[in-house]
């Protein structure tokens, strides 16, 4: 494992490479984001590669922390499988230590199902994946993990509130050579590993919620990227047990 | 499409594996009930599912760790509540930290107390696991029409009583049981579980409204409903009184992440409710998880 530690150099020599629009995330007086040019370039290349795909599927092996009220931090695992067809189809399957979730978007509605219960919920959704994803968090209070990579401009999604960005050099993830980058935001620190070579795909991502008690982390190691997948259209239509019962999303019901 | 019966059969294998894990002292694995999804993308050609042997397990509801504070996020299965797991939505997730800490003042207790809590949690966990293991073995034979029983009574960190479903009978009361009289009827109380007399035996009953007990289980959460502080102890709600804590009806508007064991499903006006102990619960998806809100009698 070789990591070139030219972090300090990168910080000094790099300009404000990220676009403006850091919003309120940057602390007052923090100034413009300072991101190593190499880090900015890799985020842009990777984002552009994902954006150019009409469809893709990937697998992610996830770990995430849970903090007990005593302060004890527990780590759990999950696997996430994602199928995306632009502009308006998305399917996410999550199977984890703390439960499973199925999520469907067919361009008209989103459906969420927890198979440990007999209940699912459906809500009308905007016509594009981008608009739908924006609506999820703000209106329904959740979104599938790793949505950064599902937007039509993943780089924009990732770089939104970055204050500092560093290039740590190359290392290996699952035997593949990947560039390790690290970013600092007000509320989180995050790292991303991006594959070298003609396919600059995400190898891994780690998010540290540093303002949360005990600083829980979320990490995902990506695999099985497929940019010419054979996905039946029915995958994007909710597939529920015949006796499943529909219940409302709480936030939607409250608003009515 | 994978045959669901086949999936169900395979679940039993997972269940046995889970029991083995419990015996080995590992974290409890509760296989999710019934339908397991399509077993992958139904079109085929998209592998990658069912790798590893641990996925699909579920810890069920919150409180399973004996913390009882019902960590708001403990039921979301890690699935993106408030944008968790994505960079650009991190602010939505972290902005809840302040309100969370306010709602859980115990977070600010000193380190010694934390340490003690951890030890007691460990003890509770140990006993809970054994009870839950037995409970799960039984419950998972049933289908999800009776899935309420999965949550097996007042298991929320209650030590001995964990896993006892309403209606279960025991030949003898726990050593720590105290006798109560509620509206002229005899009850016994131990570790958060209430017992009534049934012939020569004792039967686990719902918390009788009006009962006053000297101590509560360590898993109680302070809940703020309509400006009043109540204590939520595994779906039993209490208010402090001069000689202990009194059972009250679940406050309207309060939410719980798991139903009391024995709650019965009712369809009223096309809406699914669960009735238990005179209270009605309506299920919602809150974020990515199902919660149940106490509502006024819809009938």
Alpha helices in A136-193 (DSSP H): 154-159
Average pLDDT over residues A113-127: 95
By percentage, how much of chain A surpasses pLDDT 90? 75
Within a domain: B9: no
Question: Testing the interface with A: which of B39, B78, B91, B144 to mutate, by most A Cβ within 10 A?
Answer: B78
pLDDT higher for A40 or A28? Answer: A40
pLDDT grade, residue B176 (50/70/90)? confident
Q: Rounded distance, CA B253 to CA B224, Å?
A: 10
Alpha-carbon distances, residue B212 vs B183, B238, B250 (angstroms): 11, 9, 15
Weakest-pLDDT range from A52-66, B113-127, B129-143, B207-221: B129-143
pLDDT at B261: 65
pLDDT at A193: 98
Within a domain: B28: no
Average pLDDT over residues B58-82: 46
Within a domain: B19: no
pLDDT grade, residue B217 (50/70/90)? low
Q: Which of B79, B296, B22, B235 shows the shortest CA–CA distance to A103?
A: B79
Q: Rounded distance, CA B137 to CA B116, Å?
A: 32
Question: H or E element: which one contains B100?
Answer: helix B97-103
pLDDT at B262: 75
Pairwise CB contact (< 8 Å): A98 & B86: no
pLDDT at A98: 84
Chains A, B: CB pairs < 8 Å: 271
Question: Testing the interface with A: which of B288, B292, B293 to mutate, by most A Cβ within 10 A?
Answer: B288
pLDDT at A14: 42
Pairwise CB contact (< 8 Å): A207 & B90: yes
pLDDT at A119: 95
Average pLDDT over residues B1-29: 33
Question: H or E element: which one contains B97?
Answer: helix B97-103
Query: CB count, 10 Å around CB of A13?
Result: 10
Q: Is the pLDDT of residue A3 over 90?
A: no
Write the residue in A57, A68, A146 that is nearest to B67 by C-beta: A68
pLDDT at B222: 63
Average pLDDT over residues B88-114: 57
Average pLDDT over residues B202-229: 71
Q: Is the pLDDT of residue A10 over 70?
A: no
Q: Is the peptide bond before B123 cis (omega within 30 degrees of 0)?
A: no
Weakest-pLDDT range from A27-41, A81-95, A125-139, B229-243: B229-243
pLDDT higher for B179 or B52? Answer: B179
pLDDT grade, residue A196 (50/70/90)? very high
Whether the Cβ atoms of residue A188 and residue A148 lie closer than 8 Å to each other = no
Q: Which residue has the tokens 């924009």?
A: A156
pLDDT higher for A229 or B142? Answer: A229
Q: What is the pLDDT of residues B260-283, one digit of tens each?
A: 767 889 999 989 999 987 889 999
Q: Is the pLDDT of residue B298 over 70?
A: yes
Pairwise CB contact (< 8 Å): B92 & A148: no
Question: Testing the interface with B: which of A50, A61, A116, A141 to mutate, by most B Cβ within 10 A?
Answer: A116
Average pLDDT over residues B51-77: 33
Question: Testing the interface with A: which of B35, B45, B67, B268 to mutate, by most A Cβ within 10 A?
Answer: B35
Residues in chain A closer than 8 A to B284 (CB atoms): 121, 247-250, 253
Q: Is the pLDDT of residue A192 over 50?
A: yes
pLDDT higher for B118 or A203? Answer: A203
Pairwise CB contact (< 8 Å): A205 & B87: yes
Average pLDDT over residues B40-50: 32
Within a domain: B13: no
pLDDT higher for B1 or A66? Answer: A66
Q: Which two structure tokens, joined as six digits, stand for B195? A: 């017992």
Average pLDDT over residues B197-226: 75
pLDDT at B203: 84
Pairwise CB contact (< 8 Å): B33 & A137: no
pLDDT at B16: 33
Search chain A and give the residue with CA nearest B257: A117
pLDDT higher for B163 or A58? Answer: A58
Average pLDDT over residues A163-180: 94
pLDDT higher for B147 or B278? Answer: B278
The residue count for chain B: 299
By percentage, how much of chain B surpasses pLDDT 70? 42
Closest chain B C-alpha to A144 CA, distance in angstroms? 5
pLDDT higher for A253 or B70? Answer: A253
Within a domain: B6: no
pLDDT grade, residue A1 (50/70/90)? very low
pLDDT higher for A15 or B113? Answer: B113
Interface list for A 237-256 with B (CB within 8 A): 239-241, 245, 247-251, 253
Weakest-pLDDT range from B79-88, B114-123, B173-182: B114-123
Within a domain: B22: no
Q: Which residue has the tokens 């509540």?
A: B81
Q: Is A172 on the interface with B (CB under 8 A)?
A: no
Q: Is the pLDDT of residue B12 over 50?
A: no
pLDDT at B287: 87
Write the residue in B52, B56, B285 that is nearest to A100 by C-beta: B56
Alpha helices in chain A (DSSP H): 7-13, 37-51, 129-135, 154-159, 250-255
pLDDT higher for B67 or A256? Answer: A256
ipTM of this predicted structure: 0.81
Q: Which of A118, A153, A120, A124 shows the shortest CA–CA distance to A136?
A: A124
Weakest-pLDDT range from A11-25, B109-123, B247-261: A11-25
pLDDT at B225: 55
pLDDT at B123: 54
Question: H or E element: which one contains B203?
Answer: strand B201-205
Closest chain A C-alpha to B173 CA, distance in angstroms? 31
Within a domain: B15: no
Search chain B and give the residue with CA nearest A95: B56
Q: Rounded distance, CA B36 to CA B15, Å?
A: 14
Q: In a 3-state reduction of DSSP, which class is residue A147?
A: helix
Residues in chain B closer than 8 A to A70 (CB atoms): 67, 114, 117-118, 121
Tally the domains of chain B.
1
Q: Is the pLDDT of residue B197 over 50?
A: yes
pLDDT at A238: 96
Note down the domain range covering B283.
59-295
pLDDT at A184: 94
Q: Rounded distance, CA A1 to CA A167, Å?
A: 15
Search chain A and give the residue with CA nearest B62: A98
Within a domain: B50: no
Domains of chain A by range and CATH? 30-255 (2.50.20.10)
pLDDT at B210: 86
pLDDT higher for A75 or B94? Answer: A75
């Amino acid at each position: 494992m070789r990591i070139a530690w030219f972090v300090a150099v990168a910080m000094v020599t790099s300009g404000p490479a990220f676009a403006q629009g850091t919003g309120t995330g940057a602390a007052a007086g923090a100034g413009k984001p300072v991101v190593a040019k190499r880090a900015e370039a890799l985020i842009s290349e990777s984002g552009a590669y994902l954006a150019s795909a009409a469809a893709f599927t990937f697998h992610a092996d996830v770990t995430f922390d849970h903090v007990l009220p005593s302060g004890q931090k527990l780590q759990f695992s999950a696997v996430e499988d994602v199928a995306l067809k632009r502009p308006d189809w998305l399917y996410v399957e999550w199977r984890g230590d703390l439960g499973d979730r199925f999520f469907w978007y067919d361009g008209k509605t989103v459906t969420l199902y927890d198979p440990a219960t007999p209940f699912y919920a459906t809500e009308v959704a905007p016509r594009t994946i981008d608009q739908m994803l924006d609506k999820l968090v703000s209106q329904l209070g959740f979104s599938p993990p790793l949505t950064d990579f599902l937007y039509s401009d993943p780089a924009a999604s990732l770089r939104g509130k970055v204050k500092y960005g560093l290039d740590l050099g190359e290392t290996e993830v699952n035997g593949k050579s990947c560039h390790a980058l690290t970013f600092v935001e007000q509320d989180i620190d995050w790292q991303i590993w991006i594959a070298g070579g003609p396919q600059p795909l995400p190898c891994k991502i780690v998010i540290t919620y540093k303002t949360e008690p005990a600083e829980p982390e979320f990490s995902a190691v990506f695999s099985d990227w497929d940019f010419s997948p054979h996905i039946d259209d029915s995958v994007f239509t909710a597939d529920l047990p015949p006796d499943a019962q529909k219940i409302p999303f709480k936030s939607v019901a409250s608003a009515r | 499409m994978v045959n669901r019966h086949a999936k169900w059969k395979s679940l039993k294998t997972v269940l046995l594996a889970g029991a083995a894990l419990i015996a080995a002292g590992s974290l409890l694995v509760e296989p999710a009930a019934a339908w397991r999804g399509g077993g992958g993308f139904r079109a085929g050609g998209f592998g990658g599912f069912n790798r590893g042997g641990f996925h699909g397990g579920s810890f069920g509801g919150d409180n399973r760790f004996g913390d009882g504070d019902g960590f708001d996020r403990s039921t979301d299965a890690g699935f993106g509540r408030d944008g968790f797991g994505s960079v650009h939505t991190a602010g939505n997730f972290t902005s809840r930290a302040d309100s969370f800490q306010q709602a859980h003042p115990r977070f600010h207790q000193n380190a010694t107390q934390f340490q003690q809590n951890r030890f007691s949690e460990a003890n509770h966990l140990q006993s809970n696991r054994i009870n839950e293991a037995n409970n799960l073995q039984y419950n998972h034979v049933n289908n999800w029409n009776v899935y309420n029983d999965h949550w097996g009574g007042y298991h929320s960190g209650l030590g001995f009583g964990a896993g006892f479903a309403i209606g279960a009978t025991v030949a003898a009361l726990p050593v720590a049981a105290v006798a109560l009289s509620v509206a002229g009827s005899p009850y016994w109380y131990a570790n958060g579980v209430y017992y009534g007399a049934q012939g020569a035996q004792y039967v686990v009953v719902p918390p009788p409204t009006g009962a006053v007990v000297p101590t509560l289980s360590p898993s109680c959460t302070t809940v703020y409903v309509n400006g009043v502080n109540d204590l939520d102890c595994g779906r039993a709600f209490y208010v402090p009184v001069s000689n202990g804590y009194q059972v009250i009806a679940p406050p309207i508007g309060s939410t719980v992440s798991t139903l009391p064991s024995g709650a019965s499903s009712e369809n009223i006006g096309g809406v699914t409710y669960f009735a238990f102990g005179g209270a009605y619960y309506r299920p919602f998806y809150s974020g990515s998880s199902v919660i149940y809100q106490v509502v006024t009698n819809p009938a």
